[in-house]
Amino acid sequence: GIELQAALYLLEGFFFLASFLLIFGTSGMGLRLSQKFVFLLFLSGLVTLCFGALFFLPDSVRLKRIFLSKTESQPVTVGSENDVREHLKKGAKDPEHLRGITSAKGETSTKLKALSRKPSVINEAKTDKKNAGGETLEEVMPSRSKTESASKDEKVTSSSNQGANTDTSFDYNKFKKCLLKPPLGIEHGKPSDPQTLQRREKVKEMMKFAWDNYKSFAWGKNELRPLTRNGHIGNMFGGLRGASIVDSLDTLYIMGLMDEYNDAKEWVETSLDLNSNGEASLFEVNIRYVGGLLSAYYLTGDEMFKRKVMVLGEKLLPAFNTPTGIPRGVINLGSGTSWSWGWASAGSSILAEFGTLHLEFVHLSELSNNGIYTEKVMNIRKLLNKIEKPHGLYPNFLSPVSGNWVQHHVSIGGLGDSFYEYLIKSYLMSDKTDEEAKKMYYSALEAIEANLVQKSPGGLTYMAEWRGGILDHKMGHLACFSGGMVVIGADDGAPEKRQHYLDLAAEITHTCHESYTTKLGPEAFRFDGGAEATATRLSDRYYILRPEVIESYMYMWRLTHDPKYREWGWEAVEALEQHCRVEAGFSGIRDVYAQTVSHDNMQQSFFLSETLKYLYLLFSDDDLLPLEDWVFNTEAHPLPVVRKSCLQGEGGTHDKTTSK
């Protein structure tokens, strides 16, 4: 290919250069002036040729960044297997989307929550460089002063050329009046049943234990390594720090852990430096940082959170500067340069990444009174509606340059998952006025049922993956969110299909529970070769504290009140305590089937944001973050339903005596 050709040019050039020097090196002083001129002309051309060839080499993207303007958004790709492992939550949630390892052809051998959710516990030395004394570089470098960081954040807001923050006159008091119920319920969702209350208190204790150890050993870092008792930074967040802090804000608040919440709030106010200059996952920064700051603002009304999130939101806009408006997956938060993941097929963007921005960006427009954020995500929807979809399905890879599908791989797990989730949630968050999102969701669900939903020989319902018309009878842990997705949309489809959707949601959730044979489940499980919801490959057997199965338990409980979902959730609590709790936090495990537990030394930030929050809500009354008022983003950050008729009117829509 072109890379090999460039390498050959380079070798050939150096060969001729060496030959020329050997021939003329010893007698160069005797050359005539004309001969010297010819020699220099030839040498100049050769050097130019060799230097230009560097730009065709596979690793040349970093060279290009040196010489090309950082304000331009270059259609290049970058990434490595470590990037993929790091990149793989719910988008990185499947070993394929890692939240695993995907080849340049888009094949996966081991997910990014669209690609993002697998922590990099391999080759850790590459991401946390240490000096001779064993300290990380971050620990020995002087940190920028807190006041300097805060002032620079404010300066970004006030001096924006794009004007994305032209008006921040959002009326928080009016917003509160537009809620149907108090966010934290009458008594913080306290259940009347003593056993359920005891179980909820246990989950709260787990959160405090995880938080206290993070604070003791990894404060300010992104995640805790509980076995080695130190912090993990990683390379998903472009120099941003404190992912576990931002991800935990709302969890601490709704659990009533106010001392811990106030510590987190103080860190965000004084130490969250948004003036980073690194390479960040657009998807991960959006769902964790933007989502976390938005929910903290809506729950508390603290203007500091709003200021922070508006600064950060504006830094994400350059990723949309592509011929189609489809954002690239990686952005430098300082320069605005964006590019695609190196492992993504043909420089494509990922469905679960560019399709998991809508909820947060609509709220950025609400808070700023600037429609640019909504325009960006509506443009994505416009393009998706225009292009042809094979059998009504949405493939996982789309070119941000041509606007065409790159390959026909469809998955409800990694690479695709949260796109579908955000369709139904966009409809619900719009107070059921976004008819376009509703139509897209139910059309997609119909295509999924027709092409992907399968029944195993043992009677288990699962969602297979689709590769150009050929089914791969595998379901990822990330796809287990779909039970919850289907049930929250059951009431708003065709009336005659309501019971069908309830049954489908229950069947999928049951299948995911069956994959939890040890009460914790593998990253992916199969239904071929005699397997029934079992991981047949060693590389699929790990569990990294993922929330998706518990997420579906919570939604199924809220909408059916079948007690088995609380029992299944308690099974998961006991398994987490037995297998994942260590002396200094919680850790994922490498093989859910092994008799002897091997820990991966990583306490994921989404464990604090999602897994423990969903468990706490499962054992709480329904009036704690009621679904009539709140929609959870794919990192479980609650965002309020936007009731425009109320917000633009004079008063609230509910009895004011219920508001606090």
* Residues flagged as binding site: 634
How many C-beta neighbours within 10 Å does residue 558 have? 18
Mean pLDDT score, 34-52: 60
Instruction: Give the end-to-end CA distance of the chain in Å, rounded to a whole number.
Output: 66
What is the side-by-side order of every strand in the sheet holding 349-350?
349-350, 397-398, 405-407
From CA 303, how far away is CA 296, in angstroms rounded? 10
- Has 523 been annotated as catalytic? yes
CB 506 within 8 A of CB 556: yes
Q: Give the annotated binding-site residues for Ca(2+).
A: 634
- In order of start, what are the domains of the chain with their CATH numbers? 172-648 (1.50.10.10)
Strand, helix or coil for residue 16: helix
Q: Which pTM value belongs to this model?
A: 0.80
Buried b (16+ CB within 10 A) or exposed e, 190-224: ebeeeebeebbebbbebbbebbebbbebbbbbbbb
Annotated catalytic residue 417: yes
Checking if the pLDDT of 64 tops 50, the result is no
pLDDT at 19 over 70: no
Q: Is 46 exposed, middle or buried (0-12, 13-18, 19+ CB in 10 A)?
A: middle
Q: From the candidates 247, 417, 465, 629, which is the catalytic residue?
A: 417
- pLDDT, tens digit, for every residue of 497-549? 999 999 999 999 999 999 999 999 999 999 999 999 999 999 999 999 999 99
Which position has the token pair 């969110």?
481
One of 153, 360, 523, 532 is an active-site residue; which one?
523
- Is 548 catalytic? The answer is yes
pLDDT at 648: 87
The pLDDT of residue 91:
41
Query: What percentage of the chain carries pLDDT values higher than 70?
Result: 73
pLDDT over threshold 90, residue 377: yes
Higher pLDDT, 138 or 598: 598
Task: Provide φ and ψ at 599, rounded to 5°.
Answer: -90, 150
Q: Of the residues 247, 273, 284, 540, which is catalytic?
A: 284
Spacing of C-alpha 581 from chain mean position:
24
